[in-house]
């Protein structure tokens, strides 16, 4: 594989940028859609506090981390003290309440790995998944959003990478490929590695934000408005960054030994994490450390079949970026 590694990028690489940026622009959700989402969450919160006065609803995931494309479902977290009541009981109760308020397709999936209530709001047409007390997801949502504010190229790159992954069928965790969250972490890590760096490592800087959730200490520098010029010394275009991103995952990543870690801003060895062998269902064939739950490998869903699919897709994308006359079309062709 390493022999295929290319030393020189096509000479017209920067001229590909406008076509990718127009795809990015077409994916951005409108202000109107954002406002609708906010209204929906406020009206849901009103219903919830009638039953549980101290409960709170948080938006998380792509509708809140700034990596959401238009018309996506929204992810909501219900934060609530359980005192004795089980999760399934609370979720079943929640589903009853929502059902009686004319929300549609209300379903309590209490046996799922992450139990949720699903619903569709007939007024806005927005679908929504409500989980319970998953506050680490709320905190990692803020971390991603803060990173996105430092350099606009992160959001552009991640939108395009997510769009590619969805078009090519490699954004399906139930089939052994990676979550959107994992792809965004890969983009952040990649921009931390550019020289000069395009993103800093917020968790290595002096902490200005500090919370402890489920016994995990989450600390990082969150005054990102002070970092607006951080990436300015690097003027790589989106065309070039995409080329480099796919080239990296196709031909240069050390799958056998390396773990990518945005927490440290670099790489950790699999040996150091004890991620060298299969334990239970965790195979660690591509290793992406969660920034807060450091024992979580976001690549743990990948198995010996899907790793092949994934790597072939990275190679296809890298080759298109290098040789195709029209990468901004070919890259996203359905599989
Ligand atoms: N999440 C997590 N750990 C995972 C997967 C997801 O903490 N292993 C949390 C993250 O906060 C993430 C959210 O769940 O932002 C939603 O995950 P996902 O559906 O992968 O990402 P979205 O950003 O919502 O992407 P999409 O636009 O595809 O819905
Ligand atoms: Mg989502």
Pocket test for ligand 1, best of 64, 118, 181, 292 (most atoms within 8 A of CB): 181
- Any residues with Cβ below 6 Å from ligand 1, and which? 60-62, 65, 67-68, 72, 75, 137, 140-141, 179-181, 298
- Among protein residues, the one with the nearest Cα to ligand 1's atom 28 is 180
CA 137 to ligand 1 centroid distance, Å: 8
- Spell out where 206-300 has E strands: 209-213, 216-220, 258-261, 266-269, 287-288
Other beta carbons less than 10 A from residue 265's beta carbon: 18
pLDDT digits (tens, 9 = 90+) for 196-245: 999 999 999 999 999 999 999 999 999 999 999 999 999 999 999 999 99
pLDDT digits (tens, 9 = 90+) for 63-73: 999 999 998 89
CA 147 to ligand 2 centroid distance, Å: 18
What are 252-261's contacts with CB under 8 Å, separation 24+?
Answer: 252/2, 252/5, 253/286, 255/285, 255/286, 255/307, 255/311, 258/287, 259/287, 259/288, 259/289, 259/297, 260/185, 260/186, 260/189, 260/287, 260/288, 260/289, 261/189, 261/289, 261/291
**Atom of ligand 1 at shortest range from CA of 62:** 23
Other beta carbons less than 10 A from residue 333's beta carbon: 10
pLDDT digits (tens, 9 = 90+) for 77-86: 999 998 889 9
What is the predicted pLDDT for the residue at 5?
Answer: 64
Taking residues 293-321, report their average pLDDT.
Answer: 97
| Nearby residues of 120 by Cβ (< 8 Å), 6 or more positions away | 103, 104, 105, 126, 127, 128
The mean pLDDT of the chain is 96
pLDDT tier at 47 (50, 70, 90 boundaries)? very high
- Spell out where 28-168 has E strands: 56-60, 74-79, 104-109, 116-120, 127-132
Reference 153, options 239, 60, 75, 216; nearest CA is: 239
- Among protein residues, the one with the nearest Cα to ligand 1's atom 9 is 137
CB 158 within 8 A of CB 314: no
pTM for this predicted structure: 0.97
| Nearby residues of 129 by Cβ (< 8 Å), 6 or more positions away | 73, 74, 75, 76, 116, 117, 118
CA 140 to ligand 1 centroid distance, Å: 9
Question: Distance between CA atoms of 223 and 241, rounded to whole angstroms?
Answer: 26
- The tokens describing 296, both together, are 């979580």
- Spell out where the chain has E strands: 56-60, 74-79, 104-109, 116-120, 127-132, 209-213, 216-220, 258-261, 266-269, 287-288
In the predicted structure, residue 2 carries a pLDDT above the cut 80: no
**What are the structural domains, with CATH classification, of the chain?**
2-27+143-330 (1.10.1410.10), 31-136 (3.30.460.10)
Hey, is 35 helix, strand or coil? helix
Nearest ligand to the C-alpha of residue 139? 1
CB 95 within 8 A of CB 103: no
First to last CA, the chain: 23
Whether the bond into 196 is cis, omega within 30 of 0: yes
CA 272 to ligand 2 centroid distance, Å: 31
Hey, is 127 helix, strand or coil? strand
3-state helix, strand, coil in the chain (%, to 5): 45, 15, 40
Half-sphere exposure for 22 (CA within 13 Å, toward CB): 6
- Among protein residues, the one with the nearest Cα to ligand 1's atom 23 is 62
In the predicted structure, residue 3 carries a pLDDT above the cut 60: no
What is the predicted pLDDT for the residue at 72?
Answer: 87
CB 151 within 8 A of CB 198: yes
- The tokens describing 330, both together, are 């070919």
CA 262 to ligand 1 centroid distance, Å: 16
Taking residues 128-145, report their average pLDDT.
Answer: 97
Q: Which residue has the higher pLDDT, 278 or 267?
A: 267
Pocket test for ligand 1, best of 179, 216, 291 (most atoms within 8 A of CB): 179
């Amino acid at each position: 594989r390493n022999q295929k590694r290319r030393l020189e990028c096509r000479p017209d690489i920067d001229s590909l940028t406008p076509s990718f940026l127009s795809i990015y622009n077409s994916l951005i959700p409108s202000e109107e859609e954002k406002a609708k989402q906010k209204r929906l969450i406020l009206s849901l919160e009103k219903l919830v506090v009638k039953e549980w006065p101290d409960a709170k609803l948080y938006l998380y995931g792509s509708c809140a981390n700034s990596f959401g494309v238009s018309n996506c479902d929204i992810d909501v977290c219900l934060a609530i003290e359980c005192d004795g009541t089980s999760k399934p009981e609370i979720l079943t109760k929640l589903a009853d309440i929502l059902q009686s308020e004319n929300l549609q397709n209300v379903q309590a999936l209490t046996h799922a790995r992450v139990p949720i209530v699903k619903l569709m709001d007939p007024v806005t047409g927005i679908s929504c998944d409500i989980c319970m007390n998953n506050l680490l997801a709320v905190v990692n949502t803020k971390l991603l959003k803060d990173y996105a504010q430092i350099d606009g190229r992160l959001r552009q790159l991640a939108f395009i990478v997510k769009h590619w992954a969805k078009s090519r069928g490699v954004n399906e965790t139930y089939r052994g490929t990676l979550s959107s969250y994992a792809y965004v972490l890969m983009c952040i890590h990649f921009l931390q590695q550019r020289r000069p760096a395009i993103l800093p490592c917020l968790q290595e800087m002096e902490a200005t934000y500090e919370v402890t959730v489920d016994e995990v200490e989450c600390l990082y520098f969150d005054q990102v408005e002070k970092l607006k010029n951080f990436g300015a010394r690097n003027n790589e275009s989106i065309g070039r960054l995409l080329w480099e991103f796919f080239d990296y995952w196709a031909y240069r990543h050390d799958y056998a030994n390396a773990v990518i870690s945005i927490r440290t801003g670099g790489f950790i060895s699999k040996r150091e994490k004890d991620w060298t062998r299969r334990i239970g269902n965790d195979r660690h064939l591509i290793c992406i450390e969660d920034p807060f739950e450091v024992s979580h490998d976001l690549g743990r869903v990948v198995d010996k079949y899907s790793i092949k699919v994934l790597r072939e897709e990275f190679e296809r994308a890298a080759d298109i970026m290098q040789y195709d006359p029209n990468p901004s079309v070919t890259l996203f062709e359905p599989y």
